[in-house]
Amino acid sequence: MQLTGKNLIGLIDTAEGAHTFTGVDATLGTELPTTFYEATDAEVDRAVVLADRAFATYRRKSGAQKADFLEKIADEIMALGDALLERCHQETALPLGRLQGERGRTCGQLRLFAELLREGSWVEARIDTALPDRQPLPRPDLRQMLIPLGPVAVFGASNFPLAFSVAGGDTASALAAGCSVVVKAHPAHPGTSEMVGRAIRKAAEATGMPEGVFSLVHGGIAPGTKLVGHPLIKAVGFTGSFRGGKALYDAAVRRPEPIPVYAEMGSTNPVFVLPGALKERGAALAQGLAQSVTLGVGQFCTNPGVVVVEQSDEAEAFLKTTGEQLANVAPTPMLTSGLLQAYHKGIEGLKKMEGVAVMQANVADGATLAPAHWLRASVQTALRHPELTEEVFGPSSVGLVAERKEELYEFARQLHGHLTATLHATEADLAEYRDLVALLEQKVGRLIVNSFPTGVEVSHAMNHGGPYPATTDVRTTSVGTQAIKRFVRPLCYQGFPSAALPEALQDANPLNLWRLVNGEWSKEAI
Amino acid sequence: MQLTGKNLIGLIDTAEGAHTFTGVDATLGTELPTTFYEATDAEVDRAVVLADRAFATYRRKSGAQKADFLEKIADEIMALGDALLERCHQETALPLGRLQGERGRTCGQLRLFAELLREGSWVEARIDTALPDRQPLPRPDLRQMLIPLGPVAVFGASNFPLAFSVAGGDTASALAAGCSVVVKAHPAHPGTSEMVGRAIRKAAEATGMPEGVFSLVHGGIAPGTKLVGHPLIKAVGFTGSFRGGKALYDAAVRRPEPIPVYAEMGSTNPVFVLPGALKERGAALAQGLAQSVTLGVGQFCTNPGVVVVEQSDEAEAFLKTTGEQLANVAPTPMLTSGLLQAYHKGIEGLKKMEGVAVMQANVADGATLAPAHWLRASVQTALRHPELTEEVFGPSSVGLVAERKEELYEFARQLHGHLTATLHATEADLAEYRDLVALLEQKVGRLIVNSFPTGVEVSHAMNHGGPYPATTDVRTTSVGTQAIKRFVRPLCYQGFPSAALPEALQDANPLNLWRLVNGEWSKEAI
């Protein structure tokens, strides 16, 4: 595919803006050929107006029609072949094997939502039949289902250039819900974004979806701000930094009509290695931790940034082995030079803090490479300096040593919201530390026993979210089928004749859905 | 019960503040004896700290234990007997018959949530079992359920002194979810609030709930602001004016940790009387409309404030008959003198508008009485002056006449969010106006055919909510069992041994819940 650098506004390619940029070879740090055009306000406006017009049609497509569309997107992404992976590798320095896996995840996610749509019960149909003879007043016939919110703005993330980007989880779940989508591409992988954007456009045309059901705009803060402020946008999906996500949230809640913002803003993902587990398998845990910390050059929002142990000989051995394991990891390039600079700055900040010791500092021989780091401090130090446990985006982690068990609890109590917390524990540990589990339940979106937080399964039971500041909306997940709930709301029909209702609510249950009928789940007709 | 006028902070009665007020006899406009003490910042803080402490225990109570508590609250409210209804009638001027019905609704609501808790499936347990042999990576065991958010601030509403007040829908759903609650009583019915607050406290003690699971504070803006700003409060429920609700929303989203605000802020609830229905039963519809407009002195958030017809002889007859029917309605007192003043001001504003004619203006002979009004204008006028269709809280409505069918569509298109929209229609009307239905689906939380919007059933399928500015969160309902969803969020457990999981997620399914197991709904054990 020949890249054009243009914005994809409905079916039209446009390049009206004066601000341009290029992709960057993340391994070499050099500019890539195509010039990309940041979208102007007028281009963003056209994309949103088209999305709004498309929404009126798209929201009424059947589950099967939307499923065809999503599956066709997956097919078109696969049809891009190696060219997509190669461009993506150039722009992100992520290894081809990883990108192949991420492409599989992206397409698998689209197909899982298609499956959800074909089955259909996700609309949560609820029917309370009329009770005309009830005293003192009759009960009317009431039927409720979930309907889509409207056009959604999606902000691509840099660290998952496929799975959390143009055709990533937010786009897939919003389209599945019946919302039209305008994506602002992440400027760190504009070529990848254009390729995937064209695949979505092609799929929309092939499956008869209305023009504007999907548009793609390029650029940074300016088009992003315009998008979130547009009165026809009804919700926002974002994955990225706290600063970026919070700015979008602040803009959205100050609009004349406030709208929901689902910003997933990362997290330090505390890991507790409990005494029984340390004794039983400390060396293996050190190896697993080193792998998890450096997975994807530490550029996972579930990267384990803090590891807590109680002081003991086994703990010392674990801390030491983790450093040795990290020393074996060859430095690789980060996604952008900006992220690498921020990583170095973050590490320097940690190193300067009183009470922080460096256990392992790898050396990088190359301007784009990020060397892994392993630091240590006492839990007491971390309690006095909460900034010690803030996220440093990259392949580093801080080991914290508690003098007493009670310090673990104190540390857990003062945690703010995180995406995950992890316990490495024997069954006896879990019983002994059950109050720690209870504390952590209130701090995170996912609690893990005996594995590492990196790796977020796309499934029905996954929750990828968590209390603020991990996200701006603890009530939802950005990964898994439940993500569809972000972009819907209930609508109740009262007293409608069956034929005038959406199929999901009609007496005969023509879609064969699970429905809550007078308080009982059933697939029966009324 | 002897009223004390004190705040109920956990199990302690306190009266530390310098600001005091009394209840007012709403019929006579005179002060009632007991002095009430506005809560100080310190009292609010103590209530919230107790609520937070109680939450850690309360959230882990079983469904059956919470159900016992809610049912006991209903019992204790009934045990207050006629004294509650009489005090409530004094403070609100609402007729005893209506208050008896509202008490029934309030207790019925508590019992319905108890039933939901005993059945238990509302936690939406989801289980994806491990796939240890999956390639390229194994799938871990993932289990998700809904857990409560934390301490909730509830603001009592003036217009439903029982059903949307101290033990109203927000309190019932928050307690059902497992959240502790601090209620700020509405100052228009402080005695009623104290009585119901004491009933809740008694029920909490009788069923072994932790101190602080419920507290009640009196006052106006000062304690309300302190409450919403308190870092330990995790969500807010409110029913009332746009000004009040929007102020709470703005305060909550600007906190260092933003929290959800569920403010239900009223609505004009447009009613479309379509030509076939007008022909078939215009006179009956006029009678029904007049009743709906004056129900509860027009103090329902679902009051039909705008009625749209297409011009015809039948439409003229309908408009005229509605006026005649309203003329028969004797004026009754509003809840407060402030509301009555605002009502008069609203009516004067409407009357002064160009193109607005008065069809019926009742006369009130008494300082607290609100006379019904029925105005008319053209749809064209309403399109030019959107303020014509803003809510005037009280027994009034505006009839709008469209010159052409297309004007109905135009009017529907420019509507902002409302709680409800209503169509009076024959089956032929519904078929002919199906695009109007499609437009209205995007504007409201509940769409009604052939009845009136006043009257909100408490059931599984009800949705009492709607797009902004009807509420600050279109994704939820304040009435019905789904209201429990406001106060919960998902938590995912990964890799936990069954015994370390909450009962809802354990292999054996000891609570006999409907669970989504590997994508299929089932009550089977794993």
Sign of CA dihedral B190, B192, B194, B196: negative
Please compute the mean of the pLDDT values over residues B392-401 and round it to a whole number.
96
Distances (CA, A) of A254 to A228, A231, B238, B417: 11, 12, 19, 17
pLDDT value at residue A471: 98
pLDDT value at residue A366: 85
Give the tens place of pLDDT for each residue, B261-309: 999 998 999 999 999 999 999 999 999 999 999 999 999 999 999 999 9
Task: Supply the DSSP string of B34-97, one letter for each residue.
Answer: EEEEPPPHHHHHHHHHHHHHHHHHHTTS-HHHHHHHHHHHHHHHHHTHHHHHHHHHHHH---HH
Distances (CA, A) of A236 to A152, B47, B223: 6, 35, 33
CB of B28 within 8 A of CB of B368?
A: yes
Residue A143's Cα: distance from chain center in Å?
Answer: 33
Chain A neighbors of B446, CB-CB under 8 A: 491-494
Give me B264's structure tokens.
Answer: 């239900």
Q: Mention every residue, 6+ apart, whose C-beta is less than 8 A from residue A87.
A: A3, A191, A192, A195
pLDDT value at residue B55: 98
Q: What phi and psi values does residue A32 have, to the nearest 5 degrees?
A: -95, 155
CB of B32 within 8 A of CB of B5?
A: no
CB of B59 within 8 A of CB of B179?
A: yes
Of A128, A461, A500, the CB nearest to B461: A128
Give me A85's structure tokens.
Answer: 């992976």
Residue A105's Cα: distance from chain center in Å?
Answer: 13
Instruction: State ipTM.
Output: 0.97
Decide the pairing of beta strands A142-148 and A488-494: antiparallel
- Please indicate whether, in this complex, the C-beta atoms of B144 and A463 are within 8 angstroms of each other: yes
Give me B85's structure tokens.
Answer: 């209804």
Decide the pairing of beta strands B181-184 and B214-217: parallel
- Do you know the residue count of chain B? 526
Please compute the mean of the pLDDT values over residues A297-309 and round it to a whole number.
95
pLDDT value at residue B376: 97
- Please indicate whether, in this complex, the C-beta atoms of A101 and B136 are within 8 angstroms of each other: yes
Give the tens place of pLDDT for each residue, B164-201: 999 999 999 999 999 999 999 999 999 999 999 999 99
Of A149, A253, A459, the CB nearest to B253: A253
Q: Mention every residue, 6+ apart, whose C-beta is less than 8 A from residue B252.
A: B228, B236, B258, B259, B260, B261
- Please indicate whether, in this complex, the C-beta atoms of B461 and A500 are within 8 angstroms of each other: no
Please compute the mean of the pLDDT values over residues B81-108 and round it to a whole number.
97
If we measure between CA atoms, which residue out of A181, A178, A177 comes closest to residue A167?
A181
Chain A neighbors of B473, CB-CB under 8 A: 260
Task: Give the minimum alpha-carbon distance from B168 to chain A in angstroms, rounded to a whole number.
Answer: 20
Give me A131's structure tokens.
Answer: 């009770």
Q: Mention every residue, 6+ apart, whose C-beta is less than 8 A from residue B219.
A: B17, B19, B38, B39, B184, B185, B187
Q: Nearest residue of A to residue B446 by CA position?
A: A492
Please, is B303 exposed, middle or buried when counting C-beta atoms within 10 Å of its C-beta (0-12, 13-18, 19+)? buried
pLDDT value at residue A367: 86
pLDDT value at residue B365: 85
A494 in B contact zone (CB under 8 Å): yes
Residue with the two structure tokens 């142990």: A309
Residue with the two structure tokens 């890539």: A32
Residue with the two structure tokens 């009357």: B351
List strand residue ranges (DSSP E) for A77-180, in order: 126-128, 142-148, 152-155
B441 in A contact zone (CB under 8 Å): yes
Q: What phi and psi values does residue A410 have, to the nearest 5 degrees?
A: -60, -45
- Percent of chain B with pLDDT strictly greater than 70: 100
Please compute the mean of the pLDDT values over residues A365-370 and round it to a whole number.
90
Categorize the per-residue pLDDT at B367 as very low, low, confident or very high, splitting at 50, 70 and 90: confident
Sheet strands side by side (includes A306-310): A357-361, A373-378, A396-402, A306-310, A271-273, A418-424, A444-449, B488-494, B142-148, B126-128, B515-517, B520-522
- Percent of chain B with pLDDT strictly greater than 90: 97
> Above 90 in pLDDT, residue B136?
no
Give me A512's structure tokens.
Answer: 């064969």
First-to-final CA distance of chain B: 53
Give the tens place of pLDDT for each residue, A165-193: 999 999 999 999 999 999 999 999 999 99
**Residues of B identified as active-site:** 264, 301
Task: Supply the DSSP string of B188-223, one letter for each residue.
Answer: TSHHHHHHHHHHHHHHHHHTTPPTTSEEEE--SHHH
Residue A406 CA to residue A113 CA, distance in Å, equals 44
Mean pLDDT of chain B, nearest integer: 97
Give me B10's structure tokens.
Answer: 């956990």
What is the SS3 assignment for B2? Answer: coil
Cα A35-A36-A37 angle, rounded to 5 deg = 125
Residue with the two structure tokens 């003198």: B337
Residue B98 CA to residue B102 CA, distance in Å, equals 6
Type of residue numbered A465 = G
Type of residue numbered A429 = D
B257 in A contact zone (CB under 8 Å): yes
pLDDT value at residue A136: 86
- Please indicate whether, in this complex, the C-beta atoms of B492 and A446 are within 8 angstroms of each other: yes
Please compute the mean of the pLDDT values over residues A252-267 and round it to a whole number.
96
Residue A277 CA to residue A309 CA, distance in Å, equals 11
CB of B333 within 8 A of CB of B355?
A: no
Give the tens place of pLDDT for each residue, A3-34: 999 999 999 999 999 999 999 999 999 999 99
Element (H, E) at A406: helix A405-414
Peptide bond into B275 cis (omega under 30): no
B462 in A contact zone (CB under 8 Å): yes
Cα A422-A423-A428 angle, rounded to 5 deg = 165
Give me B16's structure tokens.
Answer: 């530390």
B435 in A contact zone (CB under 8 Å): no
Distances (CA, A) of A36 to A30, A225, A312: 15, 19, 56
* CB contacts < 8 A (A, B): 195
- Please indicate whether, in this complex, the C-beta atoms of B257 and A468 are within 8 angstroms of each other: yes
Which of B53, B58, B118, B494 should one mutate to test binding to chain A, selecting the residue with the greatest count of A CBs within 10 A? B494
First-to-final CA distance of chain A: 53
CB of A425 within 8 A of CB of A433?
A: yes
Please compute the mean of the pLDDT values over residues B132-146 and round it to a whole number.
95
Task: Give the minimum alpha-carbon distance from B309 to chain A in angstroms, rounded to a whole number.
Answer: 20
Q: For the stretch A187-203, what's the b/e string if a residue is b when 16 or more beta carbons lie within 10 angstroms of its beta carbon?
A: bbbbbbbbbbbbbbbbb
What phi-psi label fits residue A365: left (phi over 0), alpha (psi between -120 and 50 degrees) or beta? Answer: beta
Residues 74-113 of A with CB under 8 A from B: 101
Residues 14-73 of A with CB under 8 A from B: 56, 60
CB of B22 within 8 A of CB of B36?
A: yes
Please compute the mean of the pLDDT values over residues B420-447 and round it to a whole number.
97
Q: Which domains does chain B have, with CATH numbers?
A: 38-120+148-265+477-484 (3.40.605.10), 271-449 (3.40.309.10)
Give me B280's structure tokens.
Answer: 């078939």
Residue A108 CA to residue A114 CA, distance in Å, equals 10
Please compute the mean of the pLDDT values over residues B207-225 and round it to a whole number.
97
